[in-house]
Structure 1
Amino acid sequence: MSISASLFSVWDYVVFTLMLLVSASIGVYYGFCGAAHSSSADFLMGGRSLTAVPVALSLTASFMSAITVLGTPVEVYEYGGIFILICFSYALMVVLSSELFLPIFYRLGVTSTYEYLEMRYNKVIRLFGTVLFIIQTVLYTGLVIYAPALALNQGHCSLNKVLGVTSVLEMSRVLFTVTGVHLWGAVMSTGVVCTLYCTLGGLKAVVWTDVFQVGIMLAGLLAVIIQSVLRQGGISSIIRDATKGGRTNLWDFDPNPMRRHTFWTITVGGTFLWTSVYGINQAQVQRYISCKSLFHAKLALFINLVSLWAITICSAFCGLCLYSIYKNCDPWTAEQVSTQDQLMPFLALEILGEYPGLPGLFVAAAYSGTLSTVSSSVNALAAVTIADLMQPYLNLSEGQLSYASKGMSLFYGAVCIGMAGLASLMGGMLQAAISIVGVVGGPLLGLFSLAILFPCANSKGGLSGLLSGLGMSLWVCIGAQIYPPRPENSRPLKLDTHGCNFSMDSSSRNWTIHKNFMTKEETVERSFLADNWYSLSYLYFGPLGTVTVMVVGLIVSIFSGGRQKKLELGLMLSKEDLTCYKAYKILKGKVSRKARRIDLTRQQEKSSGKTNHAFSDVELSIQTHS
């Protein structure tokens, strides 16, 4: 890649700047020109007046971040297209979330999902849930902020090779000169823009900027796909290259839980993972409750499913495009990029560089994903802090709570920017993000499921289960970081460099397996736990925590006497909450009405002596027309 490919044109900066200006303008509009935020509930919940379509797109944008735009294509490029099976998980997640969790949260009208934990268990468990959510969200958001900075800092490795830059200070100077944005300048600007419109506009600003940003994300991915298809000679050519390279490995039914990705790890593990996000996560539940009716809330979830599929399929196909173009010369192995997460920006700059504005559109897509996720997280963090940590303990007026909500948005924006520093030390974005969500989200999902599904569960069982599930998830996750899984479990696919038109220093790559694991020839003997426990697929971290919480929670609840007091109405799932039961009741009613009409007709026939079926249809027809 030449140095010119790393340069943004004026039009690229125009496109990128316009995206930022539109996002900020929406926040300014809802902060000063829209409805006044006279209360914290209006600021945090949008006045509970939103409709299905904008909420649906906001739900998609909240967790379809730059990690999706940059990480999913790399996943497919390195491990194959089997990750597309996550679409099955999305469908199962939508059904579970809309049927089990959404009716209860909407009926109770809570501001924070953790209010339910106090209603169902006690105040201590509510505080535990709130603190865990804050830790999880801050860590995840730090990773999300760091991701698009990689896109703007893509030229690092190639510039180092071309210009012979050696010192860090000199590299920073060159990057600032060439791209106009230093890595940490990008991190800071992401956080500042998000914090601005979150603080000014509240949830309504977050939702409508999400709608705009989903469009930008799709446009950026489609730009890469269309140009890749034109360059490679059609979709069939890309699919053919992917098949030859083993990237169409969609159906692997190996039940081994140590395998990184199989049909079972992706569908089962993915369902638990995404249900913990869409079923109980404050950032998502906050949007359901902001809808003006339960129908709009459920409809939003199902519309969101379609947009989830669209973005996931586009990003996965980008991974196939990535492989088709670089099948003979992997830029990562060839040291043209410094991390695997820079492959997509590298591709975009190379194939879109001749079209002014399109490289800027792709970077704007990655940046849009981050803005939407960070703004949702900041708004959710502010909501749980106000509802769970301030309002119950401080006697504040509505006006004071409104100012406190804006202050919390500002505070958490700054905290998430700081956490981006920790995110820079992590490995691949996609796996790191899913691991963070799974380790904390899994136990919380188990805690809520225990409360909703089992009337006998009590506070002792809930707390014991939560601590056990969290300990189990952390144990296996930390162990997996110390003892990475063997390549026979992760099964990376072959990447070639024989088609590169420059020489590589072979001594600089002394790896004996796929470079993704950064593992040299191992001389230290691995323990039994390393190969049989810590090698558990990262997608099972969440289910492990969920199942542990529910099993331990039930056992402790039963042996501690179960629940002593009668539950308040509305805290448990009932058959009336289920859509299938409502459909059954409607169908039963229609059948009953039809049966009653038939019985009435027969009674009329008997009373008039008209029981000859040979003439009944004719006579009834005559009566009808008369």
Structure 2
Amino acid sequence: MSPVLLFCILIAYFALLLGVAWATSRNATNDSFFIGNKSSNWMLVAFGMVGTTLSGATFISVPGAVGRDGFGYAQILIGYVIGYIAVVYLLLPLYYRLKLTSIYSYLDMRLGRRAYQSGAGFFILSRLLGATARLYLVVNILQVIILDSLAIPFWLTTLVILGMILIYTYQGGVKTIVWTDTLQTSCMLIGLLACVGFLFSQLDLTLAQSLAQMQERGLSRVFTSSPDSPSFWLKQIVAGIFIVITMTGMDQEMMQKTISVKTLADSQKNLLTLTLVLTIVLSLFLFLGGLLHLYAPLVGVTASGDQLFPAIVTGHLPAAVQVIFLIALVSALFPSADGAITALTSTTCIDLLGIHRPGYIGALGEGAKIRLRKSVHLAYAALFLLLVLVFKAIDSPSMIVVILKLAAYTYGPLLGLFAFGMLTTRILRDRLVPLVTIGAPLLCAVLELHQTQLFASYRFGLEMLMINGSLVFAGLYLISKKQH
């Protein structure tokens, strides 16, 4: 299909997003931007969060990784389900009871100002790196499919896409994102189903026959039994639990949408519904990966990893499916970036600058606070551009691995801080908290760098997140004292 036509379709899709943004952001205030005026519909939030959770990395990397890992991602998925249940019944009641706008305010109430700022700082770092890695993956594919042939440079593509995101999130924030994420998730799932349906028709197999062929080629294996392997089943399941607890339950972007629902009961229904839908969708992505690896040899495609899905779509699927794929891919791109920029803006304004606290900034008028929030929003968009260009220079063949690795290092301190606050009653020496939260990830990096010398055949996998959190917890215990 003509790149010019695909580009026009991309612009038309963005125009639709702008229409939704205009309809939802009229008369928006800071409360609309930060928590959607606490009036979001739980069903819309649940459905829209599917798109935010999956992102372009899932859309491209999970099917591509089936050739290397089989259905091994299902081990992590089992952990995800357990993790979501923990968030629903342990963390959400806490956030609603304390009536939080920023979830990191809990750390201020329980542990002190330095713990609060450390938690917010690590969220900013983790979301910056994770969201820009996801953004790079999809922008790079759009560049190859459409924009290279139009002689548009990568940096300009990224700049324009970030400008698009700014336009529709600049005013309405969460109030707008709840609706745009619902639209984007719908488009992404339609694209997924269309690609699965077309491959099924081309392979001319029944469900049982396709699974049998996947099993013959080792594509459907799920569990890894070797304890030394990074993919050992117990490591993966436990890691999945803590990935959800940290990357959803202790993540301001995800919780910002969840706590924008009016009542705790509806918020819990939101996350439980998300868990069910996510399980089905991720299982379908794994199945799609198996179909792609069965189809690729038949048409002579040798690409692998993140390049496999785009190579088959652009080279061997009909024009209608290519259009659906493009819209689905863009729909996977926007939720991972728009929510991240909005949440980073919220965390910076509320937790670091203290826009709601008594004091100089807190005493500003509503108009001045809105101008401050918009300035922070623009600054994060510029930082996103810079980091996407850095990931372009790195150019990893599997971004899902990079994203999970970054999460292990940056969410570990959040896990340790929240666990210490919830599981103990001890009082911290607050000024020493930054030393602990920075020192633990550095120690983890040393352990991983020298793992061959220290642990013979053992290799670290996603359990590094728990090790990191445990080191933070232990360090906080050492700098604390009993509460009298």
Give the TM-score normalised by structure 1: 0.71
- Matching of residues 49-60 of structure 1 within 5 Å: 49-60=39-50
Query: Is 1:140 the counterpart of 2:134 in the alignment?
Result: no
Find the counterpart in structure 1 of residue 460 from structure 2: 536
For 2:114, which of 120, 124, 133 is the aligned residue? 124
8 Å CA contact 2:40–2:178 kept in 1: the answer is no
Match of 1:176 among 130, 133, 149: 149
Of 159, 178, 187 in structure 1, the residue corresponding to residue 158 of structure 2 is: 187
Identify which of structures 1 and 2 has the higher relative contact order when contacts are C-alpha pairs closer than 8 Å and 6+ apart: 2
Q: What is the rounded CA distance, in whole Å, between the counterparts of 2:156 and 2:322 in structure 1?
A: 19
1:562 is matched with 482
Q: Which AA in structure 2 matches 1:103?
A: P
Alpha carbons 1:67, 1:144 under 8 Å: kept: yes
Amino acid in the other structure paired with 2:215: T
Partners of 2:326 and 2:455 lie apart in 1 by: 39
1:131 CA drift (Å) = 1.8
Identity of aligned residues (%): 21
Question: What residue is the counterpart of 2:172 in the other structure?
Answer: 201
Counterpart position of 2:216? 244
Match among 466, 469, 472 for residue 549 of structure 1: 472
Q: 1:77 aligns with which of 33, 47, 67?
A: 67
2:104 aligned residue: 114
> In the alignment, what sits opposite 2:190?
219
SS at match of 1:430: helix
Q: Deviations over 1:448-501 (max 9, x none)?
A: 111012112524585565344322334346x28xx9xxxxxxxxxxxxxxxxxx
Any idea what the Cα deviations from partners look like across 1:394-417, whole Å, max 9, x if unmatched? Answer: 231222212322232222122112
Alignment correspondent of 1:503: none
Q: Deviations over 1:505-561 (max 9, x none)?
A: xxxxxxxxxxxxxxxxxxxxxx5148557x311x1121111222223323443xxx3
C-alpha contact 2:115 2:417 (8 A) present in aligned 1: no
Change (3 A) 1:345 1:531: farther
Q: Is the 8 A contact 1:465 1:551 kept in 2?
A: no
The reply on whether 1:41 has 2:14 as its aligned counterpart is no
> Whole-Å Cα distance in 2 between the matches of residues 327 and 245 of structure 1?
12
Aligned with residue 90 of structure 2, among 92, 100, 118: 100
Distance 2:230 2:219 in 1: 15
- Structure index of larger Rg: 1
User: Does the 8 Å CA contact 2:138/2:333 hold for their aligned counterparts?
Assistant: yes
Q: Name the CA distance, whole Å, in 2 between partners of 1:282 and 1:123.
A: 17
| SS class of match (1:225) | helix
* 1:528/1:373 CA distance change after superposition, 3 Å: same
Q: Name the SS for the 1:112 alignment partner.
A: coil
What's the C-alpha RMSD, in Å, of the aligned pairs? Answer: 2.4
SS of equivalent residue, structure 1 residue 357: helix
> Is the contact between residue 253 and residue 262 of structure 1 (CA under 8 Å) also seen in structure 2?
yes
For 1:295 and 1:419, the matched residues in 2 are separated by: 38
| Letter aligned with residue 474 of structure 2 | V
2:370 counterpart residue number: 402
| Distance in 1 separating the partners of 2:409 and 2:197 | 37
Task: Please tell me the residue identity of whatever aligns with 2:13.
Answer: M
Q: Closer, same or farther in 2 for the Cα pair 1:21/1:446, shift >3 Å? A: same
Contact 1:65–1:372 (CA<8 Å) still a contact in 2? yes
Matched residue, 2:391: 423
> In the TM superposition, what is the alpha-carbon distance from 1:87 to its structure 2 partner?
2.2
Q: Which of 302, 314, 317 is matched with 1:349 structurally?
A: 314
Secondary structure of the residue aligned to 1:201 is coil
Letter in 1 for 2:200: V
Partner of 2:218: helix, strand, or coil?
A: coil
Shift of 1:231: 0.6
**Amino acid across the alignment from 2:338:** S
SS across alignment from 1:50: coil
Letter in 2 for 1:37: A
Please say if residues 41 and 261 of structure 2, whose CA atoms lie closer than 8 Å, have aligned partners that are also in contact: yes
Query: Residues 24, 104 of structure 1: CA spacing in aligned structure 2 closer, same or farther, 3 A cutoff?
Result: same
Whole-angstrom CA distance in 2 between matches of 1:530 and 1:16: 50
Judged with a 3 Å threshold, the aligned counterparts in structure 2 of structure 1 residues 459 and 114 are, in CA distance, closer, same or farther, namely farther
2:434 is the counterpart of 1:435 = no
2:258 is matched with 288
CA positional deviation for 1:184: 3.4
1:14-25 correspondence to structure 2 within 5 Å: 15-25=9-19
**Shift of residue 432, structure 1, vs aligned partner:** 0.5
**Equivalent position of 2:199 in the other structure:** 228
Task: Map residues 217-616 of structure 1 onto 2, 5 A cutoff.
Answer: 217-234=188-205, 235-256=207-228, 259-327=229-297, 331-332=301-302, 340-352=305-317, 354=318, 356-390=319-353, 391=355, 392=357, 393-394=360-361, 395-424=363-392, 425-427=394-396, 428-459=398-429, 465-476=436-447, 479=449, 528-529=453-454, 535-537=459-461, 539-557=462-480, 561-564=481-484
CA contact (8 A) 1:199 1:407 kept: no
8 Å CA contact retained: 1:464, 1:552: no
Supply the distance in 2 between the matched residues of 1:324 and 1:18 (Cα, whole angstroms): 34
Residues 1:475 and 1:19: Cα distance change in structure 2 (over 3 Å)? farther
Contact 2:118 2:433 in 1 (8 A): no
* CA distance in 1: counterparts of 2:168 and 2:447, whole angstroms: 38
Q: Which amino acid aligns with 1:543?
A: M
Does structure 2 conserve the Cα–Cα contact (< 8 Å) formed by 1:149 and 1:184?
Answer: no
Deviation at 1:13, TM superposition (A): 4.4
Query: 1:131-160 deviations in whole A, cap 9, x for unaligned?
Result: 22212211112112211123223459xxxx
Asked whether the 8 Å contact 2:21–2:176 carries over to 1, the reply is: yes
Structure 2 unaligned regions, length at least 5: none
TM-score w.r.t. the length of structure 2 is 0.91
Structure 2 CA distance for aligned equivalents of residues 9 and 407 of structure 1 = 34
On the 8 A contact 1:272/1:442 being kept in 2, the answer is: no
Shift of 1:384: 0.8
Deviation of residue 128 (structure 1)? 1.6
Letter matched to residue 460 of structure 2:
L
Paired amino acid for 1:192: G
In 2, the alpha carbon distance for the partners of 1:413 and 1:93 equals 31
Whole-angstrom distance in 2 between the partners of 1:282 and 1:155: 33
Task: Tell me how far apart the structure 2 counterparts of residues 252 and 135 of structure 1 sit (CA, whole Å).
Answer: 32
Residue type of the alignment partner of 1:399: G
Letter in 2 for 1:547: S
